[in-house]
A and B are shown apart, each in its own frame.
Chain A
Amino acid sequence: MDALVAQLQMQYRNYTVSLYQQGFLDDQFTELKKLQDDASPDFVAEVLSLFFEDCVKLIGNMARALDQTGTVDFSQVGASVHQLKGSSSSVGAKRVKGLCVTFKEYCEANNYEGCVRCLQQVDIEYKALQTKLQDMFNLEKQIIQAGGKVPQVDIN
């Protein structure tokens, strides 16, 4: 039992560190973890869930705004990008945030192809993060089910 817990904990540590190293997460995610405790054990998962819902909504807005036959209202696209940039920043979704920065520039430049490319990338990226975090949360569950505690992972 202990050997299993130890193994799972090591897996969890390595996985979490890799998410930071690969740029999926930044230190704002670490900040969110600080806000989680026994009284609010699912805080991080809840915030991220809201974030992913936000992604769906905002990407939908962007797609609709870019789909206008005729003139595209780039400021409308930009407004949604700005919101996504904000929420990705607040949860530590580093890659998504980075893409939003580029996306915003294309909006300001009224660059249609650039915007469409960014839209596709941002869609791929948030889904990739969602999968990675799901795997991370699953590891946490397994650790707890095996009778262990989820370790604090020191990124530095």
Chain B
Amino acid sequence: MAVGEVMRMEVPTGGDLTVSSPDLHVLAVDDSIVDRKVIERLLRISSCKVTTVESGTRALQYLGLDGNTGASDLKDLKVNLIVTDYSMPGLTGYDLLKKIKESSTFREIPVVIMSSENILTRIEQCLKEGAEDFLLKPVKLADVKRIKQLIMRNEAEDHKTLSHSNKRKLGEDVDASPSSSSSSSSHDDSSVKDFPSSKRMKSESDIFSPFI
């Protein structure tokens, strides 16, 4: 049908995805100064922008989830990924994960948990709560590269579906849960606010865009 042709013409393969691919901005949370230094370097060397904080509380402050205007309200500082240690005094990584997934503004941000302890129930608990992945410490370059690829791939698919739905003006067809901001059709908006979850969105895009 004509729709498919429109898409093929206006959305060249890979075009949308690579043209404006800004570096991921990662928020790294760890109470250990040594680990913060290492994770920061691992991420920087993987071409990510990094902000490190020393606690879950600070992370929430940074995001503005503690009720105040956070630093990440500024577009430049938009967070694309949160990497957090599990065992921290005060708010654990798991508590932080829950708070993020409970937030309509931030629940789309992927969260990766790091832990020095390989406890299956802990891993399951985190994945169940919506963690993107679980890294065993000490974290290595290969781990970070893998996570980055995973996140970039998810973001690319978000953009793809967003651009397709914009071109076909399927706004009302897609199950858009009324979320904070306006009808976000900006491609910079990597945290896809209109869609409930990137995983569910993948299947929606399968239904609407079999051409991909």
| A interface residues (Cβ-Cβ under 8 A, vs B) | 28, 31-32, 34-35, 37, 40, 43, 46-47, 50-51, 54, 82-83, 85-87, 89-92
**Chain A residues positioned under 8 Å from B150 (CB to CB):** none
Give bound CA distance, A87 to B35, whole Å.
7
Q: Could you tell me if B116 and A89 are in contact, using CB atoms closer than 8 angstroms? A: yes
Residues of A within 8 A of B202 (CB): none
Whose C-beta in chain B lies nearest to the C-beta of A47? B37
Q: Is the CB of A31 within 8 A of B140?
A: yes
Contact B137 A89 (CB under 8 A): yes
Complex formed: what's the CA distance from A85 to B115 in Å?
12
Tell me how many residue pairs across A and B have CB atoms closer than 8 Å. 52
**Which chain B residue shows the least CB distance to A53?**
B33
Are A35 and B45 in contact, with the CB atoms below 8 A?
Answer: yes
B168 at the interface (CB under 8 A from A): no
Q: Does B60 contact A (CB under 8 A)?
A: no
Instruction: Kindly list chain B residues whose C-beta atoms are within 8 Å of the C-beta of A31.
Output: 138, 140-141
Per the bound structure, the CA–CA distance linking A144 and B76 in Å amounts to: 40
A54–B34 CA distance with the chains assembled, in angstroms: 8
Give the residue of A43, A54, A83, A86 whose beta carbon is less than 8 angstroms from that of B41.
A43
Chain B, Cβ-Cβ closest to A27: B140
Indicate if the CB atoms of B41 and A40 lie closer than 8 Å. Answer: yes
B122 CB to closest chain A CB (Å) equals 15
**In the bound complex, what is the Cα–Cα distance between A47 and B140 (angstroms)?**
15
Q: Which residue of A lies closest to B31 (CB)?
A: A83
Q: Shortest Cβ distance from B137 into chain A, in angstroms? A: 6
Is A28 in contact with B33, judged by CB distance below 8 angstroms? no
Residues of A within 8 A of B91 (CB): none
**Complex formed: what's the CA distance from A59 to B141 in Å?**
29
B97: shortest Cβ distance to chain A, in Å? 19
